[in-house]
Structure 1
């Protein structure tokens, strides 16, 4: 089975690890991961972060799929979306309201950004859970206003907001779930049992999580072969437009 990792990162972590493209590819090869979708959260300069991802895409074509990391509070947000989704060929946009310090439901520019993203037929990936700044409910409101944009909730809302993330994905056609960092087996099983199998994606959140754990946890779940293929391969391929 081909494995596509929908959610990883590049760039130096707070602990000092470099997390280079070369290190990522080495880890992917070890665990037989064919392709990975990445953004760069390291640093505070959006343009430099996205350039780093673009250079990695060029260095490892066909292995690294890029996402533009966008701060909606930046005056250059629209320009960064255009540049990265157009000439650089990135597959989606990453938002992180907790890291960038805004409430999604009190950030009107997001509607303009989502409209622009929809013109490229790209997806949005957003961190949900952990902080009051990144609740599934808040991002769900925006997703519902833009039904043509697939919105991927990473971590299935983590531990504190996982149930709401699953409920929103069940009842909102364009909300998807990504599995990294979610270690409540009952919640993972609930998502697999209740959410459309075309809307669940495997991810690792490398370097912040370990491939071994993210892969191992699926061995303890009840997942049929067809659904497994979708989660680990087909759903990512489709959202990446491959």
Structure 2
């Protein structure tokens, strides 16, 4: 068995050494539906420090309540400014209000946000024409999009993946359903990356994606505090893959795909 410094650190209860982890998918804010975990801003940072997470990309829980998009973005901007260099934010919009989409995206961009989160929860499918504004904006400004992707959502995105090759689409919860479909999508579309967080994950899912040549296209995420971040870390640290691939998944790919801007002033 090869020596693995990441596993040794986990067994010792220490942050991972020489591995500045990037969490590509987290949540924050006072509206957490799971008070089981400390979802406060301080709890978020404590969890990051405990594991060695150098930077986090997240969005408020209002991502599930899109009519509150503007308020959610305001909270994100406040948090990003409070913790510069540690917390980075996804902007979100309400696709059911087409007249407000571009102004809100522009407001967030001007304030310093450099990535977009989309979710179809109780709203319009990704194939709806209202999403064209979102995709066009992302293409113009070179912004990656984290897309909640499960089941039918993958197929709704197919047209956008083809028509906007300049956008990096990060498929959230990769492998939660039909893991072969996610792998085929990433292999077919070079602008697709896979994000790892899932609450119920088949054994060997990380290995499944790596063995299909996708080690450079996988980003680590937690969905915390909805899911225990340590659980998600263990899935990669103890995966039967090379140490170099673990580094790729835990931070190197994210540093390549996601922007890490200095937040704008108030």
Instruction: Note whether the superposition's TM-score is higher than 0.5.
Output: yes
Q: Which among 93, 97, 102 is matched to residue 70 of structure 1?
A: 93
Change (3 A) 1:193 1:77: same
Q: Is the 8 A contact 2:237 2:246 kept in 1?
A: no
Q: Which among 45, 53, 56 is matched to residue 36 of structure 1?
A: 56
SS in structure 1 at match of 2:48: helix
Change (3 A) 1:103 1:3: same
* Structure 1 residue 100: Cα displacement: 4.1
**Could you tell me the TM-score, scaled by structure 2's length?**
0.82
Q: Is the 8 A contact 1:163 1:187 kept in 2?
A: no
Distance across 1 between alignment mates of 2:70 and 2:155: 29
* Structure 1 residue 239: Cα displacement: 1.9
Query: Superposition RMSD on alpha carbons, in Å?
Result: 1.8
Q: Is the 8 A contact 1:126 1:154 kept in 2?
A: yes
Distance across 2 between alignment mates of 1:55 and 1:137: 35
* Structure 1 residue 88: Cα displacement: 1.7
Distance across 2 between alignment mates of 1:90 and 1:235: 19
**Could you tell me the TM-score, scaled by structure 1's length?**
0.90
Larger-gyration structure (1/2): 2
* Structure 1 residue 16: Cα displacement: 4.8
Structure 2 match to 1:88: 111
Structure 2 match to 1:103: 125
Distance across 2 between alignment mates of 1:91 and 1:161: 30
Any stretches of 5+ residues in structure 2 without a counterpart? Answer: 1-18, 261-266
Structure 1 match to 2:219: 201
Change (3 A) 1:16 1:212: closer
SS in structure 2 at match of 1:215: helix
Aligned residues: 235
Any stretches of 5+ residues in structure 1 without a counterpart? Answer: none
